[in-house]
């Protein structure tokens, strides 16, 4: 049975309801209805099912945090209030990513949004894929080059569309306030910092070694 779920809160509710329903069925199969106690030799089975269900629930939530339901091959819609903003390992901790369409890990089209709070900087880096940016809200600042230089930042208002060819070194700064950009590209998504000391994916030792 397929159920259309509009947003992340409804998704969590649907998963929780399914979990409770499945748990009730399993419990009924191992509990004596007349006494309310475990059927003989089936307590261990109940314990096993309980942990399997918990593991299933955790895996579903984890997977849901990375991908959206929408496929590039099907007619669909993403609602503004259903966006799931998550941390992304290659970004500074305060910068968030929402996946709207597709899976950025795969060699296929994807659509994401990036939210950068006031004063946050993303230091010089490059992506292997060609990208098309659309400014959704705020003022989007981008500079081209391998060294951060606020004097060459270009500001783009909501509605602006910016094409960034693959492997172009660039940097960002939320100079005047939070901004949200939408990015369309063909995956897989890649991000390489020009100076690895700014890469949050690396440990202090790895940064020092480089």
Instruction: Say if residue 59 is in the same domain as residue 92.
Output: no
Residues 104 and 57 in one domain: no
Question: How far is CA 22 from each of CA 26, 49, 113, rounded to the nearest angstrom?
Answer: 6, 10, 35
SS3 101: strand
Are 54 and 113 found together in one domain?
A: no
**Cβ atoms 136, 182 nearer than 8 A:** yes
Q: Are residues 57 and 105 in the same domain?
A: no
DSSP letters, 146-194, are: SS--GGG-EEE-TT-EEEE-TT--EEEE--SS-EEEEEEEESS---EES
**121-126 and 170-173 beta bridge pairing:** antiparallel
Mean pLDDT on 42-47: 60
Residues 43 and 105 occupy one common structural domain: no
Give me the helix-helix angle, 43-64 and 8-30, nearest 10°: 170
Range in 1-5, 59-63, 71-75, 120-124 with the lowest mean pLDDT: 1-5
Query: Do the domain assignments include residue 69?
Result: no
The share of the chain scoring above pLDDT 70, in percent, equals 64
Phi, psi dihedral angles at 124 (to 5 degrees): -50, 130
- Band (pLDDT 50/70/90 cuts) for residue 101 is very high
The verdict on 89 and 133 lying in the same domain is: yes
pLDDT, tens digit, 9 for 90 and up, residues 149-162: 999 999 999 999 99
What b-and-e string marks burial along 10-21, b requiring 16 or more CB atoms within 10 Å of the CB? Answer: ebeeebeebeee
**Domain membership flag for residue 36:** yes
DSSP β-bridge partners for residue 182: 113, 134
Which domain range does residue 19 map to?
Answer: 8-64
| Domain assignment of residue 3, yes or no | no
Which tokens in the block code for residue 88?
A: 């992304």
CA distance 55 to 109: 31
pLDDT of 203: 78
Same domain, 57 and 92: no
pLDDT computed for residue 9 by the predictor: 46
Clarify whether residues 112 and 140 are in a common domain. Answer: yes
Residues 101 and 35 in one domain: no
Mean of the per-residue pLDDT values for the chain?
82
- Encode pLDDT of 59-93 as tens digits: 444 444 444 558 888 899 999 999 999 999 999 99
Residues 188 and 89 both lie in one domain: yes
Domain count of the chain?
Answer: 2
Tell me, what's the pLDDT at 71?
85
Residues 32 and 39: beta-carbon distance below 8 Å: yes
**CB-based contacts of 92-98 (< 8 A; 24+ apart in sequence):** 92/120, 92/121, 92/122, 92/200, 93/200, 94/120, 95/120, 95/122
Q: How far apart are CA 99 and CA 101, in angstroms?
A: 6
Beta strands in the chain (DSSP E): 86-87, 96-101, 109-116, 121-126, 131-137, 140-144, 154-156, 161-164, 170-173, 179-186, 192-193
Stretch 126-131: mean pLDDT, rounded?
A: 99
Flag whether 180 is in a domain.
Answer: yes
Whether residue 28 is found in the same domain as residue 117: no
For position 163, what pLDDT does the model report?
99
Same domain, yes or no, for 91 and 30? Answer: no
73: in domain: no
In a domain, 203, yes or no: yes
Q: Is residue 177 part of a domain?
A: yes
On whether residue 71 sits in a domain, the answer given is no
182: CATH: 2.60.120.10
**pLDDT on residue 74:** 87
The reported pTM is 0.69
């Amino acid at each position: 049975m397929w159920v259309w779920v509009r947003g992340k809160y409804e998704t969590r509710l649907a998963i929780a309801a399914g979990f409770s329903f499945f748990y009730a069925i399993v419990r009924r199969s191992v509990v004596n209805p007349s006494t309310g106690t475990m059927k003989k030799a089936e307590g261990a089975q109940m314990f096993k099912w309980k942990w399997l269900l918990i593991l299933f629930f955790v895996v579903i939530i984890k997977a849901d945090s990375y991908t959206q339901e929408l496929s590039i091959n099907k007619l669909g819609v993403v609602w503004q209030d259903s966006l799931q903003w998550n941390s992304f390992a290659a970004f500074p901790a305060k910068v968030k990513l929402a996946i709207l369409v597709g899976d950025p890990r795969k060699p296929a089209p994807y659509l994401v949004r990036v939210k950068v709070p006031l004063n946050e900087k993303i230091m010089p880096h490059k992506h292997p894929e060609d990208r098309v940016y659309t400014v959704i809200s705020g003022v989007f600042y981008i500079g081209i080059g391998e060294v951060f230089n606020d004097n060459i930042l270009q500001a783009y208002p909501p509605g602006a569309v910016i094409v960034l060819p693959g492997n172009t070194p660039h940097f960002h700064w939320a100079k005047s306030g939070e901004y949200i950009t939408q990015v369309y590209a063909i995956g897989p998504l890649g991000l390489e910092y020009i100076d690895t000391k700014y890469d949050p994916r690396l440990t202090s030792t790895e940064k020092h070694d480089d």
